[in-house]
Chains A and B, each alone.
Chain A
Amino acid sequence: MATLYYLILVPMVYLAVAVFVLGTIWRIGRLLAAPSAPPPPPIYPLRKPAWLFAVGDALLLPTVLRHNFRLWLALALFHLGLLALLLGHLELIAEFKILQVVPHGIFLGHGFVGLAVILCLIYFLCRRMVSPTKELSVPEDYLLLVLFLFTALFGAQMDWARTWYDYSSMGVDEYRAYLSSLIALKPNIEGVTSAGHSFMLVGHIFFANLLIMAFPFTKLMHAIFTFAMNKFRRG
């Protein structure tokens, strides 16, 4: 068990980060290296400045808002939740002054952000089980949702577990110690493997690793490509 924990918490994390970084660079490099063809026309009417509207389209999803409010709500909640969680994890590495402009305890949201994300994921999964989105979906779509779901379940539950069951032996300080040791390339997993809910941390990290590795090879790249795509549409 200890070996398995170690493999997931140390080498696999490094591997995931490497795959993510190299894979993403490769994907973007491939785009830049591709020949450029004369672009098809944008969608009229045009609005100026086009880049600003394109960024607006990418971040605010106005077309989804217009045509499917429920989906828009779920997408907004989900993506904002992810953003908040990302920032929250940064704070698990170190304290960032700038993030404390709005004073808050760590971890941000006490797991409720995670819960919101989980509900959105369940909604997305259900959507994919109903026609016509069902027929459009491919295994990748379900796999990514399931990976997200497990990552979020283990992650959010971990924070609750800590408070509800008094697992005080592992908290923010231990997470920080672990993550900063990883960054310093002197991995130390002692603090995070001995607690009663360690298995949840390991599970969380395992699924997160898979997700991070999948990023460059799946539609998750839309997070980056959406800006370029929307710029083309705006002209």
Chain B
Amino acid sequence: MEAQLKNDLVNVFKSKLSSQMLLNLDTCSRCGLCTEACHAYASIPLVKYAPAYRAEVVRRIYKRSFTAQGKFAPVMGEAKEITDAALMELKEAAFSCTGCRRCMVYCPFGIDTQQIMSIAKLLLVAAQAEPETLSMLADMSVSKGENIDAFKEGFLSGIKRLEDQMIQTWRDEAGEDPIPTDVVGADLLYVALAGAHSIIPSARIFNAAGEKWSLSFFEAVNFGAFVGDPTKTKLILDRIVNEAKRLRVKEVCICECGTAVRVAKQLKGAPFKVVSLTEVHARYIRQGRIRLKKLPGSYTYHDPCQIARNGGVYDEPRYILSHLVNDFREMSPDPKYNWCCGGGGGLVAMGDETLDFRMQSAKVKADQVRGSGADVVVTACENCHTQLSDLNKHYGLGKEVRFLSSLVADALLPEPQEARG
């Protein structure tokens, strides 16, 4: 590796050294308690998948460049320079970590391995060694934000086609403008994903609840966060923030996408509230704005890590399910300890490239799903849904994998007539 690049990388590393990051790097006692916490290690017992080992890959470089011990007695902590080989190790460590933060629940100190992996990701970006697919996606998202006027028309024509579909299928409830866009003064801005499955059921529910809403032009998912590039993460998020400000909405509702929920919920000081779709649906039920019929069958719920453990939305999905089904079975005795599906952190977004690893590293998840005994696995995250569907196929679980929102839409009862208008 050239001296110049090495130097640059050390500086990039330095830019990540906030006080909290220093604590994450300096506190680990290598007790190994977190080892069993990682689904990757629990499924493939290789030490390189142990959280603390992943962290050491980054920590070794940290010690060498930034600590007295690493400078004067590198052998003590196995401190290491950044080399091409080290970059390969960083890549393997960072992109086999889904950022679920289950390890953080086990650690006596609460060391955040995902944060440490964010250093690895940023170094890879700086060395242009990050997974191509993820940076391609991030660049696409950024470009969309920069050129929205050029792309708007295409989007609107796509939405028009969806509306036609909706009007055909649900003539009564669709109303005149089943998928409103660009509504200045709307109460709620709904940020969906590219697929129709993330728009149609939600639109039905918003309309049934009489919500004054508007669909965002942008997709919720933040590929910048997957690739670990804070600049792009911010640019991608800003597109939504600007749109929300322009439309003067009170609330930004993020669709069933864990990363998007987490990134948006971390916004500070915005003139609107950020909520997840699940929270909004629970509210509608609580306020009597939608009524649901019970669906047959047995159900279990997979808590998406970024929405539950890292976002605090535990009760709402269970509340919704209690109105939807009679036979609900918890997957894990304590949802805080739910196994990650194994698809987060950009792994699902990398598609078939990561399929093998995703299937092997999530064996414990497949076992957990099987053990629930339920026929239907419900979740509220696009990535989890894709990964669970892949697991279902790979391990022959014979389950049905459903989005919570689509179940709610299926169970919608027509509004009582007098409530209309």
Q: Do chains A and B touch in the complex (CB under 8 A)?
A: yes
Contact A35 B19, CB 8 Å, known A44-B308, A44-B310, A139-B75 = yes
Contacts of A219 in B (CB 8 A): 26-30
Interface residues on B, range: 35 or more
Q: Which residues of A contact B265 (CB under 8 A)?
A: 41
CB distance from B77 to the nearest CB of A (A): 5
Distance, CA A60 to CA B154, complexed state (A):
59
State the CA gap A143–B268 with chains docked (Å): 45
Complex interface: chain A residues within 8 A of B336 (CB): 43-45
Q: Which residues of B contact A234 (CB under 8 A)?
A: 110
Query: In the complex, which residues 190-237 of chain B have their Cβ closer than 8 Å to any Cβ of chain A?
Result: none
Give residues of chain A (204-235) contacting chain B, Cβ–Cβ below 8 Å.
217-219, 221-222, 225-226, 228-230, 232-234
Is B53 a contact of A40 with CB atoms below 8 Å?
no
A133 touches B30 (CB 8 A): yes
Say whether B20 contacts A232, CB under 8 Å.
yes
From A30, A57, A136, A222, residue with most partner B Cβ within 10 Å: A136
Among the 9-residue stretches A64-72, A171-179, A183-191, the one with 4 or more Cβ atoms under 8 Å from chain B is A64-72
Assess whether A135 is interfacial by the CB under 8 Å rule. yes
Q: Is the CB of A64 within 8 A of B19?
A: no
Compute how far the CA of A41 lies from the CA of B308 in the bound complex, rounded to whole angstroms: 11
A10 to chain B, nearest CB (A): 25
A142→B213 CA distance, assembly (Å): 61
Q: Is A136 touching B29 in the complex (CB atoms < 8 A)? A: no
A35 to B15 CA separation, bound complex (whole angstroms): 9
Give, as a whole number of angstroms, the nearest-CB distance from B264 to chain A.
12
B52 with A36: CB separation less than 8 A: no
Asked whether B69 is an interface residue with its Cβ less than 8 Å from the other chain, the reply is yes
Q: Do A233 and B47 touch across chains, with their CB atoms under 8 A apart? A: no
**Would you call A39 an interface residue if the criterion is a C-beta within 8 Å of the partner chain's C-beta atoms?**
yes
A225 to B191, CA, bound (A): 39
> What distance in Å separates the Cβ of B41 from its nearest Cβ neighbour in chain A?
8
> Contacting chain A: which of B100-108, B367-375, B413-421?
B100-108
Which of B22, B53, B109, B312 contacts A226, CB < 8 Å? B109
Chain A: CB-nearest residue to B55: A136
Chain A residues in 8 Å Cβ range of B311 = 41, 44
Q: Given that A225-B23, A232-B23 are contacting pairs, would A45 and B312 also be in contact in the complex, using a CB cutoff of 8 Å? A: yes
Q: B31 in the interface, Cβ–Cβ < 8 Å? A: yes
**Complex contact A67–B32 (CB within 8 A):** no
Total cross-chain contacts (CB, 8 A): 152
B266 near A41 with CB under 8 A, answer yes
A31: CB under 8 A from chain B? yes
**Is A132's beta carbon under 8 Å from chain B?**
yes
Complex CA distance for A143 and B416, rounded to whole angstroms: 74
Interface of A is mostly: helix
Interface residues of A in 57-96 (CB under 8 A from B): 57-58, 61, 63-64, 67-68, 71
Among B17, B18, B67, max chain A CB count under 10 A is at B18
* Least distance between B183 CB and chain A CB atoms (Å): 30
Instruction: Mark each residue of chain B from 85 to 120: 1 if its CB lies under 8 Å from any CB of chain A, else 0.
Output: 000000000000000010011111111101100000
Residue among A27, A38, A67, A141 facing the most chain B CB atoms (10 A cut-off):
A67
When distances are taken between beta carbons in the complex, the residues of chain B under 8 Å from A30 are 22
Q: What separation, in Å, do the CA atoms of A139 and B18 have in the docked complex? A: 27
CB <8 Å contact, B33 and A31: no
**B76, chain A: closest CB distance, angstroms:** 4
Q: Report yes or no: B33 in contact with A64, Cβ–Cβ below 8 A.
A: yes
B residues neighboring A (CB under 8 Å): 17-24, 26-33, 35-37, 41, 45, 47, 50, 52-53, 56, 67-69, 75-78, 101, 104-112, 114-115, 262, 265-266, 268, 308-312, 314, 336
Q: Can you show 6 pairs from A to B with CB atoms below 8 A apart?
A: A41-B312, A43-B104, A44-B314, A63-B105, A64-B108, A143-B76
Would you list the 4 A-B pairs with minimal beta carbon distance, nearest first?
Answer: A233-B110, A37-B18, A44-B312, A135-B47
Q: What residues of chain A have their CB less than 8 Å away from a CB belonging to chain B?
A: 27, 30-32, 34-41, 43-46, 57-58, 61, 63-64, 67-68, 71, 127, 131-133, 135-141, 143, 217-219, 221-222, 225-226, 228-230, 232-234
